[in-house]
Structure 1
């Protein structure tokens, strides 16, 4: 696919396979409608899953929450190696001197950056653009809406299900809780939580054959800037890891990772930033 081609243009929006497979897959992966999503970002996902055979296509589902699966182990790993972690310290500014970052200004004060040390800036694109002079970043975003519902009883038939023909793309079941995810959800997110809950619960009931079960205890979560809009124009705005300042590096799923803005893309960006710091001779 060319750099400016969309998923719909490449795969043809009129065929049944597109509606039942390619479109829901593309929307879920890109968090962008198929008629505007960049085909160049869907291809690496296909190459690294379908292209590598059955083993690469197995879904991995966290037995516990993502914090317990990723964040907490990472913090323990860092703490065991003498790394200090400070939460709720918002970065306000970078002090730039010549070709390097000399200090970081946080709400609680400044932190000097020693010669030979490196700064890996892993903040949302809007914040990065405010902190780094002249930095071009993706400037359009797309929403994701998640709904979590208490089921009448635990369902052990399956742990997740792909949905076609409705609003949501995925249904996850963990014990007596059903969770649905709606990608490219900007329009849906404009509704109030009660309206969203009713609509999503109807899809849960149909998928799980619950009949007309009354709306149970639930929670609706709107992430209005979940990812950047992964259109061809926005993809061209993704910056590289390196910056004009020799000790400043970027990380985030919105940088040039070669993947969409996903957890896998975020992990790859972190590895890429670490490798770039090592090769530069700096200390992160």
Structure 2
């Protein structure tokens, strides 16, 4: 849950996860996983909902900065021309912490991060029904079975920063075979791809926790959102959703 080595991870954040799952009973501990990826599970439905509500969506359009006057955001700096805000319009700034720090000088944001490594193995046939399994005692921590491929996740992966991709794949595949009890004809490693997210989450330490801001940043029409803000949870999808709700409440109550 913390994506941080246990020796330095903040117990309070782990405790929040335990209180909201294990201590709530079985109904709160049902694992959920996407069959076809996170985009199909979260992004596509969200975009469809926004379009249905009449929202204008601009992709590939980086916001380079904010223009601020009299304690309010008055425009967004876009590549082609500034986008001016009307008197009743507000901004939910949902960007990575290092981007938020550049846009809002003086804002305290997490500045230490942990990586996540994902390795995808392509298979000619599914090795079994869709699902996932957790592993201990090896390099791989989670194995996800999907249609046509198997994916593995390795958390707190800064320690593997210098490990070559082919070495990572060769290390993971025997663990995958053992975990899924794959037949002998799959002894040879199938086609693979290693994806490293170098700044996947903030490091869930006491020092970084103190750097997490709340949704309010002293601007009347702006609220922060992101799993790195002060949600009471580590950097998780649940924390991101909570931050979005708090940002919306902040805007609506201002």
TM-score, normalising length: structure 1: 0.86
Aligned to 2:41: 69
1:194 maps to which of 152, 166, 183: 166
Kept in 1: contact 2:113–2:199 (CA 8 A): yes
Aligned to 2:8: 36
Tell me: CA distance 1:63–1:152, structure 2 relative to 1, closer, same or farther (3 Å): closer
Aligned to 1:156: 128
Unaligned runs of 5+ in 1: 1-28
In structure 2, how many angstroms separate the alpha carbons of the residues matched to 1:189 and 1:201? Answer: 19
Kept in 2: contact 1:145–1:189 (CA 8 A): no
2:194 maps to which of 210, 214, 220: 220
1:94 maps to which of 66, 80, 83: 66
1:206 maps to which of 152, 175, 178: 178
2:29 maps to which of 47, 57, 66: 57
TM superposition shift of 1:158 = 6.3
Aligned to 1:124: 96
Secondary structure of 1:91's aligned partner? coil
Kept in 1: contact 2:130–2:147 (CA 8 A): no
Q: Kindly indicate whether residue 209 of structure 2 is the aligned counterpart of residue 235 of structure 1.
A: yes
1:168 maps to which of 127, 137, 140: 140
1:244 maps to which of 218, 222, 227: 218
Aligned to 2:17: 45
TM superposition shift of 1:187 = 2.0
1:142 maps to which of 114, 134, 148: 114
TM superposition shift of 1:190 = 2.2
Secondary structure of 2:199's aligned partner? strand
TM superposition shift of 1:108 = 2.1
Work out the number of aligned pairs and report it: 252
TM superposition shift of 1:152 = 5.6
Aligned to 1:105: 77
In structure 2, how many angstroms separate the alpha carbons of the residues matched to 1:96 and 1:75? Answer: 28
In structure 1, how many angstroms separate the alpha carbons of the residues matched to 2:80 and 2:195? Answer: 30
Secondary structure of 2:188's aligned partner? coil
Q: Mean alpha-carbon deviation: is it higher for 64-73 or for 153-162?
A: 153-162
Kept in 2: contact 1:146–1:220 (CA 8 A): yes
Secondary structure of 1:172's aligned partner? strand
In structure 2, how many angstroms separate the alpha carbons of the residues matched to 1:208 and 1:275? Answer: 45
Kept in 1: contact 2:225–2:247 (CA 8 A): yes
Unaligned runs of 5+ in 2: none
| CA shift digits 1:97-138 (9 cap, x unpaired) | 121111110112200111121111000000000000210100
In structure 2, how many angstroms separate the alpha carbons of the residues matched to 1:237 and 1:171? Answer: 33
Q: Mean alpha-carbon deviation: is it higher for 116-125 or for 146-155?
A: 146-155
TM-score, normalising length: structure 2: 0.95
User: CA-atom RMSD, angstroms?
Assistant: 1.3
In structure 2, how many angstroms separate the alpha carbons of the residues matched to 1:157 and 1:223? Answer: 27
